Amino acid sequence: MSIGPTLETERLILRPPAAEDFEAWAAFAADPEVAHFIGGVQIRAMAWRSLCQVTGSWTINGFSMFSVIEKATGRWVGRLGPWMPEGWPGTEVGWGLARDAWGKGYAVEGATASIDWAFATLGWTQVVHAIDPVNHRSKAVARRLGSRVLYEAVLPAPLDVPVEMWGQSREEWQARRSEGLG
């Protein structure tokens, strides 16, 4: 039984998380450099809960982050996609990739497919990205997606961290896509 769609890009498969993702997810969550801007390092038990939280959101909300699978290898390389838990400051498409997947354009490629899906399927009118003000890598991804800083917010407890909310409207996104950008 599938709890959500599978999206394909040139190099990636985006699908709802599955139990088989756990080992790679736990390694991802345990990497201090990877986890720095996404809530910090998690022990295995917390990584399991995080995987279940993202998976459960598919059932409760009808959307959530996708597991990112590299087509060439079949490896789980991260999670990205729509995210809006209780108290979240906007309709977000976020990303987090394993360190060995950085610098390959996967965040932009996967986020583009996720944003297209969120606007077309979920009917969102705006997409945002909650980015720590010193996370220059994520700001670069947001810029490549055509986003800009829209407002500042504080993520809800237990995170309680100030963020810049980057984003754009559906109309802005569609205009960029029709021009062959994004």
Q: Which helix (H) or strand (E) holds 97?
A: strand 92-97
Quick check: is 142 in a domain?
Answer: yes
| Helix/strand/coil (H/E/C) assignment for every residue in 114-165 | HHHHHHHHHCCCEEEEEECCCCHHHHHHHHHCCCEEEEEEECCCCCCCEEEE
Quick check: is 158 in a domain?
Answer: yes
For residues 2 and 117, what is the distance between their CA atoms, to the nearest angstrom?
A: 17
Quick check: is 77 in a domain?
Answer: yes
Quick check: is 2 in a domain?
Answer: no
CATH value at residue 63: 3.40.630.30
Model pLDDT, residue 81:
98
Quick check: is 1 in a domain?
Answer: no
Quick check: is 170 in a domain?
Answer: yes
Quick check: is 62 in a domain?
Answer: yes
Tell the residue number behind the tokens 């077309």, with chain if given.
120
180 has pLDDT over 80: no
Number of domains in the chain: 1
- Per cent of the chain over pLDDT 90 is 86
Model pLDDT, residue 35:
76
pLDDT in tens, 26-61: 999 998 888 787 777 788 899 999 999 999 999 999
Quick check: is 104 in a domain?
Answer: yes
| Residue 79, strand partner residues | 67, 96
Domain range for 33: 7-178
Do residues 28 and 19 touch, judged by C-beta distance below 8 A? no
The residues, ordered by sequence, that sit 6+ positions from 35 with a Cβ below 8 Å of its Cβ are 28, 29, 41, 42
For residues 52 and 22, what is the distance between their CA atoms, to the nearest angstrom?
A: 10
